[in-house]
């Protein structure tokens, strides 16, 4: 594999950048693989990379219906954080934070990880108490957390509405200074390039049409580009998990919903980190190009449409303007949508299943992007060793029937309001 550096950049400048190697190949599927990963998004690509790197399993195929990075890895708002209260969520995502910090070096691909911090704003005493508790829980798990009062928030966010007659005054907030953002497409491409160089076949435009299950064991799968034999399949298709689960006669604690995001026209630097509104569902950050990147509520009913409905955008931005009045004068550049696996407790599932050789990675709700490295790492371990790692044992499939929910927000099973 060609190493990316200032020297290779200069060298290729002499040939007008026309002689760069392809970042990954475009192979046809072989007859048999040791492991097949379904889904060429962030989680699938990261899983294949860690299978090759950590477990030396390189006879691996990634099967992608469209093109790699075309799903939610290319549609999210790029927020990376580990500000969770429950141990299972906190440890898992803090493990991921360490992978994020070294990702550009490890992948030899600039993912532009930028730890610019996140602030969750509080608008009542009760909310301040809840954030104090969450911050303490985070610090017990070794995650940096700082409880900010109103004046401290005002220093960081002078453009927020601090006037006296505001409906939801800012009482303070909980900050995680080590949180941040990254360039989402680069994450997919970086993992893809390294996985490919270690022998993983990235097979695009290849739809899975069925599974070959015999005596409770995975024997292979059927695709639009032929049958493939394999004993292990990893499902990384958040957003389409229910479609493939139906082909396996499985019913999962997941509903599929649509989430929208939007960006404004680019403006000069105004916002350093990520900010979330505590009295409504709205979050915002400013990209390196200067666009305000914003998101919020789900559209609110089961959807596979990958494009959103305007009332939701209007509702989300009403919250945004209440928090940052200057947003009302910005032009919207574009809006888009992606389909989410909304799990019944808001936490993901990374587990084995009742079918031997079928592994499940799904239920990422809003927060799949930040978990790409930790999910790939633990899922690769789960597939390679045929047992879950201690980092993902809390994300079990049977936690619902057993009553060990990881309901971080305490919202219950109405996935469309979470």
Contact residues for other proteins (CB under 8 A)? Answer: 242-243, 246, 251-256, 300-305, 309-311, 344, 400-401, 413-416
User: 141 vs 413, which CB is nearer to other proteins?
Assistant: 413
Residue with Cβ nearer other proteins (163 or 401): 401
At its nearest, how many Å lie between other proteins and the CB of residue 416? Answer: 5
Closest CA to 393 of 140, 97, 86, 88: 88
User: 3-class DSSP state for residue 72?
Assistant: helix
**Which of 253/319 has CB closer to other proteins?**
253
Nearer to other proteins, 181 or 256 (CB): 256
What is the rounded CA–CA span in Å between residue 275 and residue 268? Answer: 17
Q: How far apart are CA 375 and CA 362, in angstroms?
A: 10
Sequence-distant (≥ 6) Cβ neighbours of residue 277 within 8 angstroms: 121, 283, 319, 320, 322, 323
H-run or E-run covering 222: strand 217-223
Least separation, in Å, of the C-beta of 108 and other proteins? 38
- How far apart CA 325 and CA 347 sit, in angstroms, is 33
**Which residues make beta-bridge pairs with 286?**
292
CB 306 to other proteins: min, Å: 9
Q: How far apart are the C-alpha atoms of 150 and 152, rounded to whole Å?
A: 6
Q: Between 59 and 309, whose beta carbon lies closer to other proteins? A: 309
**Rounded to the nearest whole angstrom, what is the least distance from the CB of residue 364 to other proteins in the complex?**
15
Integer Cα distance of 351 and 386 in angstroms: 10
Q: Which is nearer to other proteins, 178 or 343 (CB)?
A: 343
Closest approach of Cβ 311 to other proteins, in Å? Answer: 6
With H, G, I as helix, E, B as strand and everything else as coil, classify residue 270: coil
Q: How far is the CB of 37 from other proteins (least distance, A)?
A: 21
* Rounded Cα gap, residues 277 and 297, in angstroms: 12
């Amino acid at each position: 594999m060609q190493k990316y550096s200032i020297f290779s950049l200069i060298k290729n400048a002499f040939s007008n950048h026309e002689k760069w190697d392809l970042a990954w190949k475009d192979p046809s599927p072989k007859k048999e693989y040791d492991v097949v990963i379904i889904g060429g998004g962030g989680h699938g690509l990261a899983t294949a990379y860690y299978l090759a790197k950590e477990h030396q399993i390189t006879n691996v195929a990634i099967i992608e219906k469209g093109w790699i990075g075309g799903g939610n890895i290319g549609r999210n708002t790029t927020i990376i954080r580990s500000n969770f209260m429950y141990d299972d969520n906190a440890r898992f995502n803090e493990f991921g934070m360490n992978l994020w910090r070294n990702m550009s070096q490890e992948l030899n691909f600039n993912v532009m990880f930028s730890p610019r911090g996140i602030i969750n704003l509080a608008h009542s005493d009760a909310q301040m108490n809840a954030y104090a508790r969450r911050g303490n829980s985070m610090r017990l798990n070794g995650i940096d957390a700082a409880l900010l009062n109103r004046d401290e928030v005002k220093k960081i966010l002078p453009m927020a509405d601090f006037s006296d007659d505001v409906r939801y005054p800012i009482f303070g907030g909980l900050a995680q200074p080590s949180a941040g953002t990254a360039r989402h497409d680069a994450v997919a491409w970086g993992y893809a390039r390294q996985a490919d160089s270690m022998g993983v076949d990235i097979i695009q435009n290849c739809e899975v049409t069925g599974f070959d299950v015999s005596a409770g064991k995975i024997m292979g799968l059927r695709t639009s580009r032929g049958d493939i034999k394999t004993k292990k399949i990893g499902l990384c298709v958040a957003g389409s998990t229910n479609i493939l689960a139906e082909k396996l006669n499985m019913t999962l604690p997941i509903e599929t919903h649509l989430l929208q995001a939007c960006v404004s026209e680019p403006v000069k630097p105004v916002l350093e980190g990520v900010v979330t509104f505590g009295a409504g569902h709205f979050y915002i950050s400013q990209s390196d190009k200067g666009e305000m990147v914003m998101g919020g509520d789900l559209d609110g009913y089961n959807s596979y449409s990958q494009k959103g409905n305007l009332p939701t955008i209007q509702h989300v931005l009403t919250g945004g303007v209440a928090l940052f009045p200057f947003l009302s004068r910005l032009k919207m550049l574009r809006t888009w949508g992606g389909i989410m696996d909304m799990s019944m407790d808001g936490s993901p599932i990374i587990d084995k299943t009742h079918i031997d050789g079928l592994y499940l990675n799904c239920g990422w709700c809003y927060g799949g992007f930040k978990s790409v490295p930790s999910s790939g790492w633990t899922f690769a371990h789960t597939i390679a060793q045929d047992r879950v790692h201690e980092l993902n044992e809390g994300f079990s499939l049977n936690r619902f029937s057993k009553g060990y929910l990881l309901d971080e927000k305490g919202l219950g099973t109405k996935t469309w309001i979470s």
